[in-house]
Amino acid sequence: MKPHQLERANSFVREELSLLLGSTVADPRVNALLVTDVDLSSDRRVARVYVSCYEEGGDLQEGLRALENAKEFIRRELGEILGWRFTPELVFRADKSLQRGARLDKVFMELEQQQQANAPETTETANDDERPASD
């Protein structure tokens, strides 16, 4: 399969899985999960599905267990939507990039606050109109 076709297939499967998880799967542990990426094998027989938890108190591991319990149901529903000759085997993986990003944002905010607290206050203020002309 050509790379651009595979990318389109990945995107399509990701969108459809997102819709399925939001509307069809009844397990409440899945409500806080977000499908962040899908990586289909070149023959489209295996789909690695990366999910993340977007709620602060949500448990990603519990969500993954719920997905494993509903895997065959999700695969059957996906197969009806795709209409492909083979429905890919679903392999769910944790994507912790959202949590890492939030943690990094927090660290950067703390560093910025520390720099502002340690910065010496200046009494002189520069006026933009008083800049020397550059040649």
In a domain, residue 113? The reply is no
Number of domains in the chain: 1
In a domain, residue 23? The reply is yes
Q: Which domain holds residue 19?
A: 3-96
pLDDT confidence tier of residue 89, bands split at 50, 70 and 90:
very high
Measure the CA–CA gap between 30 and 70, rounded to whole angstroms.
10
Q: What is the CATH classification number for the domain harbouring 21?
A: 3.30.300.20
In a domain, residue 130? The reply is no
The answer to whether 29 and 20 have CB atoms below 8 angstroms apart is no
pTM: predicted TM-score of the whole model, two decimal places:
0.69
- Please give the DSSP secondary-structure letter assigned to residue 92: E
Residue 131 has phi, psi (to 5 degrees) of -70, 145
Q: Are strands 33-40 and 46-53 parallel, antiparallel or unpaired?
A: antiparallel
In a domain, residue 73? The reply is yes
Say what the pLDDT of residue 125 is: 52
Residue 91's H or E segment, with its range, is strand 89-94
The tokens for 113 are 């606050």
**Burial, 108: exposed, middle or buried (Cβ in 10 Å; 0-12, 13-18, 19+)?**
exposed
In a domain, residue 107? The reply is no
pLDDT at 54 over 80: no
In a domain, residue 109? The reply is no
pLDDT at 106 over 90: no
